[in-house]
Amino acid sequence: MAPYYVGVDLGGTKIYTGLADTEGRLLSEVKVPTAAENGYIAVVERIASTIGEVCSRAGVSAGTVSAVGVGAPGPLNPETGLIHLAPNLGWENVPLGNDLQGLIQLPVLLENDANLAALGEHRFGTGRGVSDLVFITVSTGIGGGLILNNTLYRGAGFAAGEIGHTVVDPDGPSCSCGSRGCLETLASGRAIGRQARELIASGGGRGMLTQAGGVADQVTAVTVFEAATGGDPEALVLVRKAARYLGIGIANILNVLNPPLVVLGGGVMESGAMILELINAETRAYALREAYAAARLVPAELGDRMGLMGAIALAIR
């Protein structure tokens, strides 16, 4: 009986679970709502039941599963399996690793979701065969993960890769982290939507407002990217501004780590080819010539399976 591996991508809205063989080939997968409103224990039980389901769908006995990798949001300790804080789930200091392991009687490995996305792209995505890469997700927030010398680099407090909280404008807006001018406050999907709504509130942004059916509250980063793609000049200014800050943030990483590959994922990156081109140009303007020359900037390959495949890579390892 070949060993099997389970990956679980635990998010604020859904639990995405898959079963794979030793090569990471997905044999079955299942997505269910997280239903965090039912409380922590209910979520743990729900995860356990998805694991049972992917096994039964593939006709595999749960006893032949060697390990379960779980990706979860928020600061957590992969060694103790403790999630320190997950505001989206309403959790604080929950021992998810131990509780799940107790329930399913299989070894459980827990890891930060952005780290797992980096691991997934390295093992199964666009980073295959590359020893070092920086993964950056630009979505509602901005996060990242580092693969250095073929290994996930976690940092002394398991907090490495927090690219969204590097300061790219010391006079920028305050950030929820306590600092100001963080990349996330200037270039995340949330920031881009906020900037558009501010523009509308001050009397501008008609094109974006129309794009959102005339309802200012409905204007999000998606609206901005759609309007920019349609040639709306005010939307283009917002997109260029975000790209400039992302370029500065990436250039700073290139100048410090000099990686051969930067993998860009997340909803904002999936808004079209324009954003990657703009980011690339800004990165080139701010990075050292030799650091820019050594690095390829590429889109992530695994789409919404990124976290899941990272969890499977974690389990296989």
Cβ count within 10 A of residue 225: 24
> Which lies closer to its own copies via its Cβ, residue 4 or residue 91?
91
Judged by CB under 8 A, does residue 49 bind its own copies?
no
Q: Binding its own copies by CB under 8 A: which of 26, 32, 160, 274?
A: 160
Which of these segments, 4-12, 158-166, 229-237, 263-271, binds its own copies (CB under 8 A)?
A: 158-166
Q: What does the DSSP 8-state code read for residue 167?
A: B
Among 153, 190, 229, 276, binds its own copies (CB under 8 A): 153
Rounded CA-CA distance 10/33 in Å is: 10
60-89: contacts with its own copies (CB under 8 A):
75
User: For its own copies, which residue of 100, 116, 221, 295 counts as binding (CB under 8 A)?
Assistant: 295
Q: Looking at beta carbons only, is 42 or 285 nearer to its own copies?
A: 285
DSSP 185-201: HHHSHHHHHHHHHHHHH
Tell me the three state secondary structure of residue 115. Answer: helix
The answer to whether the CB of 139 falls within 8 A of the CB of 266 is: yes
Taking CB under 8 A as the rule, does residue 305 contact its own copies?
A: no
Q: Which is nearer to its own copies, 100 or 187 (CB)?
A: 187
Nearest alpha-carbon partner for 246 in 274, 275, 224, 223: 275
Q: Which long-range contacts (CB under 8 A, 24 or more apart) does 192-199 make?
A: 192/221, 192/224, 192/238, 192/239, 192/242, 192/268, 193/219, 193/220, 193/221, 193/223, 193/224, 195/238, 195/241, 196/220, 196/221, 196/223, 196/224, 196/235, 196/238, 199/234, 199/238
Residues in region 254-273 near its own copies by CB under 8 A: 255-260
Query: Amino acid identity, residue 207?
Result: G
- How far is Cα 73 from Cα 55, in angstroms, rounded to an integer? 25
Residue 29 binds its own copies, judged by CB under 8 A: no
Give min distance, CB of 252 to its own copies, in A: 4
Residue 293 within binding range of its own copies, rule CB under 8 A: yes
Cα three-residue angle 89-245-220, rounded to 5 degrees: 50
**Nearest CB to its own copies, comparing residues 20 and 76:** 76
The single residue among 1, 2, 23, 156 that binds its own copies, judged by CB under 8 A, is: 156
Interacting residue with its own copies among 52, 155, 272, 303 (CB under 8 A):
155
Among 27, 30, 82, 148, binds its own copies (CB under 8 A): 148
Name the minimum Å distance from CB 260 to its own copies: 4
Of 55 and 254, the one with the shorter C-beta distance to its own copies is: 254
Q: Given the rule CB under 8 A, which residues bind its own copies?
A: 75, 132, 144, 146, 148-149, 151, 153-163, 165-170, 177-180, 244-245, 248, 251-253, 255-260, 285-291, 293-295
